[in-house]
Structure 1
Amino acid sequence: MNITLALMGLSLYLLLWEKLPAWGTWFNRLIAHLPRPLAYLYEAWRCPYCFGFWIALALHVLTGIQTIPALHNAPQALGIGGDVLFWFLDALASATLIMLGKLGLSALAVPAIKGHQLTQEFKKARSVQAAAEQ
């Protein structure tokens, strides 16, 4: 199994739905000025599985990379339909990995944020205590 497509897809997902909207107003204005069908797609593809499927297909076409190498060559008997079927199956596998990656990052984020907040509170309390002692 090759996780390259899933990692690229997860990175794009995080960039488009979690980072760019928070990096100022320019991206949100850009989304607001998109034609209605494109703005709808942006909102509809917020699901990491849905986005993962489509981005895996696009990345496969652009890079030739597959998640499951066994799906590289469809049997000749299936013709062009076999290639399309195998791309579809590979994109489903990639989408599953992208969704699992997003869920894993979300699960790790809560304890990490809580730990960071507690560390900051501890440092602040120590600095206040040090200032009071002087």
Structure 2
Amino acid sequence: MDISLAIIALSLHILIWEKLPDWGSWFNWLIEQAPRPLQYLYEAWQCPYCFGFWAALLLHWLTGVYTLSSLENMVNYLGNVAQPLAWFFDALATALFVMLGSLGFKAISGPAIKGYQMTMEFKN
């Protein structure tokens, strides 16, 4: 198993939906200027699973890397349908890892932020 696609997709998800909107108004302005279908995609793909699926398909096409190495062998016995099926199933698995990573970071960040705030209050 290779989770590099999931790590890249999760990093992109965090950057696009959690970090860039807070780095000034330029990114939000850029989204507002985009055509309506792109604005819809930006709103719809905030879900880490949905974004993870499409990002995994794109990353797989760019890199040829599979999250589940066993899916590489599907090509041998299913014929022409094998590669699209392998990419689809691999993207589903990668999206699951992206969603679990996102939920894990959110679960950890709540207590971490609370602890930081309590430390800062104590120091003051």
**TM bucket, shorter chain:** over 0.9
- Tell me the residue number matched to 2:95: 95
TM-score (norm 2): 0.97
Larger radius of gyration: 1
Distance 1:20 1:72 in 2: 35
- Tell me the residue number matched to 1:127: none
Amino acid at match of 1:66: Y
Corresponding residue pairs, total: 124
- Tell me the residue number matched to 1:33: 33
Distance 1:71 1:77 in 2: 11
The answer (yes or no) to whether the contact 1:73–1:83 under 8 Å persists in 2 is no
- Tell me the residue number matched to 1:52: 52
Structure 1 stretches of 5 or more lacking a match? 125-134
Shift of 1:74: 1.8
Structure 2 stretches of 5 or more lacking a match? none
- Give runs of ≥4 in structure 1 deviating > 6 Å: none
- Tell me the residue number matched to 1:15: 15
Matched, 1:4 2:4: yes
RMSD: 0.8
Q: Give the match's secondary structure for 1:70.
A: helix
Identity %: 60
TM-score (norm 1): 0.90
